[in-house]
Structures are given as structure tokens and as C-alpha cells.
Structure 1
Amino acid sequence: MIEIERKFLVSSEAFKTEATSSKQIVQGFLNTDKERTVRVRISGDKGILTVKGKSTEDGLSRFEWETTLDKAEAEALLQICEPGVINKTRYEIPMGNHLFEVDEFHDENEGLIVAEVELNVVDEDFLKPSWLGEEVTGKVEYYNSHLSKSPYKTWK
């Protein structure tokens, strides 16, 4: 239940040619407290409810718990979420022993593309694709919960 993840900006759209799948995701937040976030997500015909704890100081790991919902349940929960829904396309790109999830944001976060890779241990080595840009692990402004309140298009 502990998620270890590193997050990067993406420097080009070359990742799209390496993607093995893509899907649309709509998500909202029932709670965005810095101690815990509660997210509702819809992708295809299923929903997911996720609870995430506070990140470690370096931003690399935090508690995460998920359960699946049917789409109707998730749609109902989205109606009571805090303002600021996230809409994005997620691409999956296998790279060595890891899977990169690249999120291309839409609507108020248009122009932002972020890649994440989950690790088994904090100092695990992984192959870095050529399109990987600056590391933003632990930078709160790139958390989806923050983007829902302070969209990328409003950044100076």
C-alpha cells in the first residue's frame, strides 16, 4: 500500500509512437487536504476511488489505497467533488522492466504533459526515455489535486 513514484515533465510528443495503449480519464477530488487526498476517477466503464496519504519529505512515496466502483457510482461521487475536474489522456509506455504512465492534460491544464514511473524501492534504477524532461517529483504544483485548484493555464 505504499506507492513509490517518480514524476517528470515530458519534453516532446515522441512518447506517443512508443505507447502501447491510451485512455481518457476524468477525475475529481472529494478531499484535497495535504494530509490526505480522496480521488474519484472514471476511465472507460469503470470507476476508481483512491485515498492517498501525505508524501514523504522527498515526495517519492506515500500511502495509497484503491477500490473499484461501477461507473454510475463514480459519476454520482463526481457530482459532490470539490470544484476543478481533471480531464486527461493517459498513455502507457513499457520501458525495460518498468511502465511509464504519461498524462496529457486537457481543458484548463492543456499544454502540461507529465510522466510517472512506479518503483519497487526508492533508489531503483530505471531506463530513461529520450522524451523525459525535468524531474518534478515532490513538487506539489504538479500533483493532480493541486492542478484541480490551480490549473496549469493560470501559472505565470
Structure 2
Amino acid sequence: MTEKRKIDAIDRKLLHELQRDASISHADLAERVGASTASCWRRMRALEADGLLGRQVRLVNAARLGRGVNVICHIKIKNNSIETTEAFESFIASRDEIMECYSMSGDWNYLLRILVADVEDYNRFLMRTVLRHPSMATGSSHFALSQVKYATAVPL
């Protein structure tokens, strides 16, 4: 998509409702946004085609599954060569514990959000996996004490 798609008030309502509950029926969605069911369906397909709507997922309660510890980890790699960054990013993509990864400006090259069971689990993952990767120079870990806010909905 090269141009930014113009969305109207009904599209915004659709996006808002779908971010709240993607399992809503087309009939209920149409009622909530003030449009016909067919119109909602067409608009949803257009939003998907334009890349504004992605795949549907269900959110899982990580703590209930024994993975309630969020660790924010700053990473510095050895150098910024294409080979090093590609190797590191490929490694990151292969690890399920790493929930998010951002390439950063500033003193650190990457910021990771890692989800683990406990401190011991993180220590094992850090020492045996992350720090042993050949592209690693150093890292700094910060444990989340509590989750004050977690959002998945993009502001409209």
C-alpha cells in the first residue's frame, strides 16, 4: 500500500468494534456501527485488502499458563553489519519467549519483551541462549513488577 487509505466514520467504528471483539457477528457489528450487514462485510474486506485489518487472534492469559513474568531487555550487538543484524533478527524470530522486538535508536540496538515463568527461567534463557548468540555484545534486563496497562487496540 503506497497511499494512506482514507477512512470514514463508519470505518472507524468498524475498526473500534473489531479491536474490542473480533468474534462479533456481522449482524451485531452492523447494528453497532449503523450500517447494513452487507455494507459492513464489504467494508471489512476493503480494510483487509488495504492492510488495515490483519489476522484474527485470541488473547491468552499468560499468567494463568505459568508465564507471568515480563522482562524488558536492552540488547547491544557486536556490530551493525548486515550479516550480524540479520543473524540476530533471525535468532529473535525463532524464539517463542521473545514476544516483541524493536530495533532502537540510541545506546542500545534492540529492545525485547520476554515472557517467562519466573526469574530462574529467565536466567536460564538469558545465560544459555541469548548471551551465547555470536552477535551479542551485552544486555541489560529489567523485570516488570506489575502490569499497569496493556492494550492491543490502536487509537483511532
Whether TM-score is above 0.5 comes out as: no
Q: TM-score, normalised by structure 1?
A: 0.30
Q: TM-score, normalised by structure 2?
A: 0.30
Say which one has the larger Rg. Answer: 2
Q: Which has the higher strand share?
A: 1
Q: Which has the higher helix share?
A: 2
**Higher RCO (CA 8 Å, separation ≥ 6 residues):** 1
